[in-house]
Structure 1
Amino acid sequence: MKRLRIAILTHSTNPRGGVAHCLALAEALCVLGHEAVVHAPDPSGRGFFREAACPTVAVAAQPVAGPTVELVRTRIQDYLRHFGSPAACDFDIFHAHDGIGGNALATLKHRRLIPGFVRTVHHVDHFADPVLADWQERSIREAGRLLCVSRLWADWIRDEIGAEADIVGNGVDPSVYRDVQTGADAAVRDRWQLGPGPIILSVGGFEARKNTLGIIEAFGRLRARRPQAQLVVAGGASLLDHAAYRDRCRAALAAAGLTVGRGEAVIETGPVPQADMPALYRAADLLAFPSWTEGFGLCVLEAMACGTPALVSRRPPFTEYLAPTDALFADPADADALADAMAAALVPQTRARLRAAGLARAAAQTWRACAERHRQAYAACTRLQPEPIHA
């Protein structure tokens, strides 16, 4: 296959699963001999949340103070300004990973600046705002080729859109996420004043689809059994407005008598530097990730690669790529079941079994294999696409 120049578009430079996927995918594609360039709107001017072994473009972006629909509209326009000239469109493949990039590329296609684009659907949000809903659907329907990270969303596309999507999966970098302590481990424990534990880690901030309320309720029941338990809520950088749900979580914590702060029962870290995440995983006795809606759940593989057991929802996509013995599965709506699973993860025999299974599962999920699947999809696109027509 010839060397391809691939423009990969994501929605943000912040540490979110989709952004991490784009960077790791581009790095793996570059190792395979292609030039994959990750683009993202960057209103802060700080660039991506981590250094990348692939080219990146921090797209100049306008500040926005209005509602989500105005933010998305502005970010689409940011992309259109960036790709507004033939020189900026000098790529063989355009690949969007969200509705912002997908809408920008759909407009560029109609302007005949690009011949078409690939769209990865990580998951589908349910928007009350009809404009946001229309933009999301347009970004999927207008794509020339569709990819998904799990069968769950490929089936949704087939049933709801009437199109077929290839499944490309995810991966984990064993050179970064590993079961070997470094100097960062003690520093992370000191920074957040982590006690003897047990430590339950939740990744994604206070967000409805992450089921943070369910985690809080279950953790309150665990803490009744293990008074020194601490819940660490990491991450939370998002384009969407989760303020109302976060307020509900704060109210639930107060009602349960769970204090928030460094060294307290609940520790809210906000976005965590990439260099600290492996140490944070290793500090945890369990990753609690019983999401309602998930594209794949990249942090599950990251935790497993660090030797940390995971608690996940007994539903797709987790049941697709995890065997029943790889993790603890529970009904995300059942707080008692979640609390029992948290307690089970602390039993030495169970913990040892889950650790071994998780390490093996993570080792089998490579970014190179994920990149190879993308390369096959790109090859099909280049065979079908005409030459770009530049205005």
Structure 2
Amino acid sequence: MKIALLSYSTKPRGGVVHTLALAEALAAAGEDVTVWTLGRGGDSGFFRPVDPAVRLRIVPFPDGPAQETVGERVLRSIATLRDAFAPTSSAYDVVHAQDCISANAVGRCVRTVHHIDHFTTPELAACHERAIVDPAAHVCVSKSVADELADGWGIKATVIPNGVAYERFAMTDPAARARWKDRLGRYVLAVGGIEPRKGSLDLLAAYALLRTAHPEVKLVVAGGETLFDYRDYRARWETTAAELGVEPIVLGPVPDDDLPALVASSAAFAFPSTKEGFGLAAMEALAAGVPLVVRDLPVLREVFGSTAGFGDTPETLAAELGSALTTENPARRAAGRELAAQHTWHRAAERHIAFYHCLR
């Protein structure tokens, strides 16, 4: 089959990580795969090298005017990707969009709904709705999200969980881990940046509580590339940190080669997201053997079960993080590694191929 996978960015966000890993696994299975995306800010390549068996089509997307709103930027993104992709669409047996921008750009397609957002900006709300209603077929990475689609729109989706690059996170270089520990000391890590969906303010409050018993432990936040403008939320986060008397270390986007050792060197991994479809970064932490604490959401209960600690308030998150820092739990650690090892991209690709064949 000739397969087009479409994303909206070259930056390291969960959906982009998913797109590239799935494309490589599909190509390894013998499929003809092309990844289409927008090259924001002059990008001509992805955040990491991509297997040459996967064709790449990166559509230039120059910065807009300084006064451009998020809604206007989203609409321009859709139009730019649509104009580039439309002349080639008939060349593919399967057109598979991985987000609402690419789904709006191509119309009738396969759509992976990673999670369901609730936007208040009119342009975003309309784009989100079209990206759910218009596709011809739907994939979800967890049953919880598939149930949301069924309950909210009467849409039946096929559930195909994410894979995880298990060996990459389970077998990190000891010297690389030592460098992170020398630089940061003992730390709780969060990956995904500072934004409302990542529960960053709750994590900050939890960390302030945690420090009363563990004053030596730092909070480290990595990642943060996003299409949206979270400057107001970030300013609120910084003001709150000052009021709480804490000084988190904000690394921003971390080079892809450095991420596994950063994760593996952490004393605990915090994942307090308010909305998720699977939790790929948290699954990577389990692969690395790191104690995991997540927000108590149905989807995260479904995905992680007994391998994680759960909290739904700053107080309960702090209590679970404190337990992770002080209590060795080899059985949970082993169960987490075993769970992560089961989620292979090879298996995800096989299930996608079978799904594609059913559509033809």
Give secondary structure in 1 for the equivalent of 2:250: strand
| TM-score, normalisation: structure 2 | 0.95
CA distance in 1, matches of 2:172, 2:63: 41
Q: Which structure shows the higher helix fraction?
A: 2
Provide the residue aligned with 2:61 in structure 1: 61
Shift of 1:11: 1.2
Contact 1:204 1:233 in 2 (8 A): yes
Alignment correspondent of 1:369: 347
Q: Which residue number corresponds to residue 255 of structure 2?
A: 273
**Aligned with residue 304 of structure 1, among 279, 283, 286:** 286
Following TM superposition, the consecutive aligned residue runs of length 4 or more in structure 1 with deviations greater than 6 angstroms are: none
**How many residue pairs were aligned?**
355
State the SS of the aligned residue for 1:346. Answer: helix
Amino acid in structure 2 at the alignment position of 1:327: A
Aligned to 2:46: 48
C-alpha contact (below 8 Å) 2:271/2:294 kept by paired residues: yes
- Alpha-carbon distance in 2 for matches of 1:42, 1:84: 17
1:119 is paired with a residue whose SS is strand
Q: Distance in 2 between matches of 1:57 and 1:5?
A: 14
1:201-280 aligned at under 5 Å gives the runs: 201-259=189-247, 266-280=248-262
Mapped contact 1:83–1:89 kept (Cα < 8 A): no
Quote how far apart the aligned CAs of 1:275 are. Answer: 0.4
- The residue that corresponds to 2:311 in the other structure is 330
Coordinate RMSD, CA, aligned? 1.5
Identity between Structure 1 and Structure 2 (%) = 39
TM-score, normalized by length of structure 1? 0.87
Matches within 5 A, 1:158-197: 158-190=150-182, 193-195=183-185, 197=186
Q: What's the CA shift for 1:36?
A: 1.8
Equivalent residues in 2 for 1:288-299, closer than 5 Å: 288-299=270-281
Q: Distance in 1 between matches of 2:100 and 2:297?
A: 25
How far the C-alpha of 1:175 sits from its partner, in A, is 3.1
Q: 1 CA distance for matches of 2:337 and 2:173?
A: 15
> Residue 164 of structure 2: SS of its match in structure 1?
coil
Distance 1:215 1:226 in 2: 15
Letter in 1 for 2:315: D
- Equivalence for 2:84: 82
| 2:172/2:260 contact within 8 Å kept | no
Shift in Å at residue 269 of structure 1?
0.6
User: Is 1:6 matched up with 2:3?
Assistant: yes
Q: How much does 1:182 deviate?
A: 4.2
Amino acid at match of 1:76: I
Match of 2:324 in 1: 345
* Superposed displacement of residue 147, structure 1: 0.7
Q: Give distance in 1, aligned partners of 2:94 and 2:252.
A: 35
**What pairs up with 1:353-364 in 2 under 5 angstroms?**
353-364=331-342
Which of the residues 14, 29, 33 maps onto 1:17? 14
One-letter code aligned to 1:151:
K
Q: Report the Cα offset of residue 184 of structure 1.
A: 2.6
Residue identity opposite 2:14 in structure 1: G
> Which residue in the other structure is 1:141 paired with?
133
What secondary structure, in the 3-state scheme, does the structure 2 residue paired with 1:135 have? Answer: helix
Structure 2 residue runs without a partner (length 5+):
none
The answer on whether the counterparts of 2:295 and 2:317 sit within 8 Å (CA) in structure 1 is no
Bigger CA radius of gyration: 1
* SS state at 1:319 partner: helix
